[in-house]
Amino acid sequence: MRRSMLGRLAVAACSLSLLTAFAPAAVAQADGGGHDRSYKKVGYFTQWGVYGRDFQVQDLEANGSAGKLTHINYAFGNISPQGRCFTGNVPGEADAWADYVRPLDAANSVDGVADTGEQPLAGNFNQLRELKAEHPGLKVLISLGGWSWSTHFSDAALTPASRKAFVESCIDLYIKGNLPQDGARGGAGAAAGVFDGIDLDWEWPGSAGDTDTTYRPEDKQNFTALVKEFRTQLDAYARSQKKKTKYELSAFVPTAPAKIDAGFDVRRIMRDLDFVTLQGYDFHVSGEPRTAQQSALRARGDFSVDSTVDAWLRRGAPANKLVMGMPFYGQGWTGVSGGGDGMGQPATGPAPATWAAGYEDYKALKKLADSGAYTIHRDRRDGHAWLFDGTTLWTYDDPQVLRAKTGYIREHGLGGAMFWSLDADTADGELMIAVDRGLRGR
C-alpha cells in the first residue's frame, strides 16, 4: 500500500474496470461487545506518522476510533534481501525506534503512564498492546511490504524452502514477539501478544510495482503457495499455544483486472485468507495530465469501487471476504483550465500540499471545504466528490460519500471497510464516525 505514496499512485492509474457488482452474502450478527462484529472496520496505522504528523496510538483513543475499529493494520514490516522479516534502525528500511524502542510520556500513552527505561517493550508496539487492553475485541495485524517494501517478496516466495524460512521468520519476529535486543528494549517474547495475525501487502505479484521490486511470471503460483504456508504455520503455532482463536491472515489486493490475473489465483487464495482489502482508491492520480476521480463508487467506462468488487466476485471471491478500501486523503491537481466544475480538465501538475504534492489528508481538505474558498461538487449517481476553486481541484471522500459506500457494502453483503490511513482523519474522527454509523445502518 503505501510506504512511498507517490510511486504507488503512478502504477495504480493503470487500473481497468469491469461491470457492476452483485452477490449478497449472509452477514454475522454483532457479538454484543464494544465492537460491532457485523462488519470489519480495518484501519492502517502508519509507523512514520508518529513523527511529522505527530499521530500517536493514543490518538485513536482520544478521537474515538479505537472503540469503532475491529482491526488495526500496522504499516509496515519489511523483508530483507535474504527473504526474512526483520527490523532494526536502518534509514529507509526499518525503524525499530518507532516500533518498540522510543519511550512515550504519560500524555502520549494510552494508559496514561510514562514508559520507563527498563521495560523491554516501548514505542508503538507497547501502545498497541495497551490499546488492546482497553478494547479486548480489537485485533492488530502486522502488514508486510507496501509499495516501497515489496522489493524482496518475489525472492522470499520463490521456493518451498524460501517460503518456509520467510514465514518462520515473520512468525518469530511478530507473532512470538522475539525482537532484536536494543539496549533494555527487545528480547525473547518482548512483543508476544501484540499482533493477532499478518496482512500481506505485496505490490504486486506477477506485475510491476515500485522501480526496484522484483516480479516474475511464476509469482502467481508462488503467492498462492506463500498464503498456504502462512496459513499452515500460523495454525500450527496457534495449536501449540492452545489458542482458542486462530491467527488471522489477510491481503491487500489490486483493482486492475490485469494485475489480478497476473498475480492472484483467486479461488485458491481465498480458501486460506480470512479476508482481502480491496484497492478502492488511486483510480486516477495527480501525476496524470487531466483531473479525474480517484475513488468513485461507480463510474461508467472507467474504473471504480463497483468494478473492483465485480472483478473479484467474477473470479470466485466470496462477497463476505471482500473488505472495501476507502481513502482518508485526496488527490489534487493545480493549473486546471477549461472551466466548468474542473473535472476531466487539463492541469499543469500536482497541487501543492502539506506532505507531498498532489496528496493531502482529509483533515486538511475539510478545512479547505469549510473555508469557503472552494466549491464542493458531487456526482451523486456515481458516488464521489471534489473541491474546486477555479484553479486547483481535489478529489476525495467525505462523510456523505462514505455513507453511500457503506450502504453499498451492506446491500452487497461485503465484509466491511478498510481505510488508508487513520492519521488523516480529523481530531474528532469524523470519517471513522461516518463509516461506523453507515455500517450500522444509521
Beta bridge partner(s), residue 324: 278, 417
Instruction: Give the integer Cα–Cα distance in Å for 267 and 285.
Output: 30
| Neighbouring C-beta atoms of residue 136, cutoff 10 Å | 9
pLDDT per position as a tens digit, 80-137? 999 999 999 999 999 999 999 999 999 999 999 999 999 999 999 999 999 999 999 9
Axis crossing angle, helix 430-439 with helix 399-411, rounded to the nearest 10: 30
CA distances from 280 to 112, 177, 283 (A): 36, 32, 8
Q: Are 179 and 94 in contact (CB under 8 A)?
A: no
With cut-offs at 50, 70 and 90, classify the pLDDT of residue 6: very low
| Neighbouring C-beta atoms of residue 242, cutoff 10 Å | 6
Residues in Cβ contact with 28 at an 8 Å cutoff, skipping those fewer than 6 apart: 37, 38
pLDDT, residue 160, reads 98
Which domains does the chain show, CATH number per domain? 5-328+399-439 (3.20.20.80)
With cut-offs at 50, 70 and 90, classify the pLDDT of residue 1: low
Catalytic residue numbers, as ranges = 203
The Cα diameter of the chain in Å comes to 65
With cut-offs at 50, 70 and 90, classify the pLDDT of residue 19: very low
How much of the chain, in percent, has pLDDT values that exceed 70?
92
- What secondary structure does DSSP assign to 230-256, as a single string? HHHHHHHHHHHTT-SSPPEEEEEE-S-
Instruction: Give the integer Cα–Cα distance in Å for 404 and 429.
Output: 18
CA distances from 253 to 40, 42, 440 (A): 16, 14, 25
Instruction: Give the integer Cα–Cα distance in Å for 226 and 219.
Output: 10
pLDDT per position as a tens digit, 296-337? 999 999 999 999 999 999 999 999 999 999 999 999 999 999
Beta bridge partner(s), residue 340: none
pLDDT, residue 227, reads 99
| Neighbouring C-beta atoms of residue 167, cutoff 10 Å | 23
CA distances from 242 to 70, 136, 405 (A): 23, 19, 39
Task: Output the average pLDDT for the chain.
Answer: 93
Residue in the block written with cell 452477490: 23
- The predicted model scores a pTM of 0.92
Task: Single out the residue of 228, 248, 261 nearest to residue 160, CA to CA.
Answer: 228
Of 3-12, 26-35, 44-53, 118-127, the poorest mean pLDDT is in 26-35
With cut-offs at 50, 70 and 90, classify the pLDDT of residue 7: very low
